[in-house]
Amino acid sequence: MGALDGIPADKDTVKKLDREHVFHSWSAQALIDPLPIASAEGSYFTDYDGKRYLDFSSQLVNVNIGYQHPKLIAAIAEYAQRATTISPAFANDARSEAARLICEKAGHDLSKVFFTNGGAEANENAIRMARLHTGRSKILAMYRSYHGATHGVIGLTGDPRRWGTEPHIIPGVVHFWGPYPYRSAFHSENAEQETERALQHLRDTVMVEGAQTIAAIILEPVVGTNGILVPPPGYLAGVREICDEHGILLISDEVMAGFGRCGEWFGIQHWDVRPDLITFAKGVNSGYVPLGGVVVSAPIAATFDQRVYPGGLTYQGHPLACATAVASITIFEEEGILDNARHLGTDVIGPELAKIADRHPSVGEVRGLGVFWAVELVRDRATREPLVPYNAAGADAQPMNDFAAACKQRGLWPMTHFNRTHVVPPCTTTEQEVREGLAILDEALEVADTFYTGSDS
């Protein structure tokens, strides 16, 4: 009998065991009905009834290289023959090379990698490093952000996922508003004004909090789950200036924006701004084996040359995960995957979504870059009233649920959040596949249009 023979082969057993024994994240356990997935390949996954879905979500926006990439699978099998686990206390060839490659891609003076198992742990360690390096305690983070679900970084998170942990979150976190031209917290009328006012708001926040108490500002260079909020020109450079003026560190949370999502290795490179710390996970190896980390600039790394860094993880720099990162980065280069992501954004998704917006009154705005796009749905273009309320659930969420069901029925797996659908397929998706997915989206948006109440419908 093979060691894997016990894995059930039929949908009903998979589902039954899931319901009995698997405790799912972010869910009321009795109210969910997870779809059992039988297989996946390229940009598609297939259920046990043989229904194939084109994945416009990349799972949790992490399968940047697509499913079952043959070269990546071969690399995992090859490295598994050599080493499956070596503790972080030893040096390991795959870990050394993964760290070198990631630093090379990060550029500037980012010279060392502290590996973790995922994004939340990366942010935990980035804020710990920032606090110890600066000797200051406060961390500034944005409203409309997500930084992970562990106890420390859920406090950084600026969305409803934080509420369930309150008030037991770590002290010393202050939230501020980032730019969002379509729903400006600053009532701006154009992108230039938005940059100016968002930066003034950040300066004011730093002033009243006391610059000398602030260790770091953490931000997603392009806000991901909370709306694919692409910063207006000059914003990130302005944040860097504020940091430099006050000795505050800039942490770029690239967990979702990195490794091709924005058409660059790291999203912040789109604006040529230097971070002091980068956190990454997801796309570094598309989750084929869990991996995350912090890329550390030389001065911060030097703080811990003679002083013990008080943190570590049993599976840190896991050899199989690191080998998968080396292989994934190599495949990205060999196959021009960053170019493909840029091409899809500039020549296909952007122009096609603009046409879709023209056809559907319920589309308030489309925005994005690379393979990182949002379609923001509204009841009324004039008032910009969202198609569903903020954090809608139950009956309030019905318009978005109906829209998502229409996509799924037609074989497209969408990523919906609040009143938006995100277009976030793997970076390896072909132009033809993207066009097919957008055609389905176009049809399904007719469902959203039925909830439109504006007078111009």
* Chain residues in the site for ligand PLP (CB under 6 A): 60, 118-120, 123, 146-148, 220, 224-225, 253, 255-256, 281, 292
Find the helix or strand (DSSP H, E) in which 275 lies. none
Instruction: Name, in order, each residue with C-beta under 8 angstroms of 3's C-beta and a sequence gap of 6 or more.
Output: none
Nearest distance from residue 431's CB to ligand PLP, in Å? 26
β-strands 415-417, 138-142: how paired? Answer: unpaired
In angstroms, rounded to a whole number, what is the distance separating the alpha carbons of residues 362 and 353?
Answer: 13
Nearest distance from residue 345's CB to ligand PLP, in Å? 19
Report H helices in 304-424: 319-334, 337-343, 350-359, 398-409
The tokens of 72 are what?
Answer: 């990546």
Query: Across the strands, what pairs with 417?
Result: 420
Please say which residue, 367 or 381, places its beta carbon nearer to ligand PLP: 367
Please say which residue, 293 or 361, places its beta carbon nearer to ligand PLP: 293
Please say which residue, 255 or 448, places its beta carbon nearer to ligand PLP: 255
Please say which residue, 66 or 119, places its beta carbon nearer to ligand PLP: 119
Nearest distance from residue 20's CB to ligand PLP, in Å? 25
In whole angstroms, how far apart are CA 266 and each of 175, 184, 229? 24, 26, 16
What values do phi and psi take at 275, rounded to 5?
-90, 160
Exposed/middle/buried for residue 81 (C-beta within 10 Å: 0-12, 13-18, 19+): exposed
| Helix and strand numbers, DSSP H then E, in the chain | 13, 16
Nearest distance from residue 419's CB to ligand PLP, in Å? 19
Nearest distance from residue 221's CB to ligand PLP, in Å? 10
Nearest distance from residue 287's CB to ligand PLP, in Å? 8
Nearest distance from residue 290's CB to ligand PLP, in Å? 8
Nearest distance from residue 30's CB to ligand PLP, in Å? 24
CB atoms within 10 A of CB 87: 13
What is the DSSP track for 369-398? Answer: ETTEEEEEEEEETTTTEESS-TT--GGGGH
Please say which residue, 60 or 405, places its beta carbon nearer to ligand PLP: 60
Nearest distance from residue 425's CB to ligand PLP, in Å? 16
Find the helix or strand (DSSP H, E) in which 261 lies. none
Please say which residue, 54 or 255, places its beta carbon nearer to ligand PLP: 255
Please say which residue, 123 or 188, places its beta carbon nearer to ligand PLP: 123
In angstroms, rounded to a whole number, what is the distance separating the alpha carbons of residues 74 and 203?
Answer: 50
Please say which residue, 57 or 362, places its beta carbon nearer to ligand PLP: 57
Q: Which has the closest alpha carbon to 43: 406, 456, 388, 371?
A: 371
What residue is closest to ligand PLP based on CB? 119
Residue the block writes with tokens 């292989």: 327
Q: Which has the closest alpha carbon to 296: 314, 309, 283?
A: 309
- How many Å from the N-terminal Cα to the C-terminal Cα in the chain? 63
Please say which residue, 123 or 134, places its beta carbon nearer to ligand PLP: 123
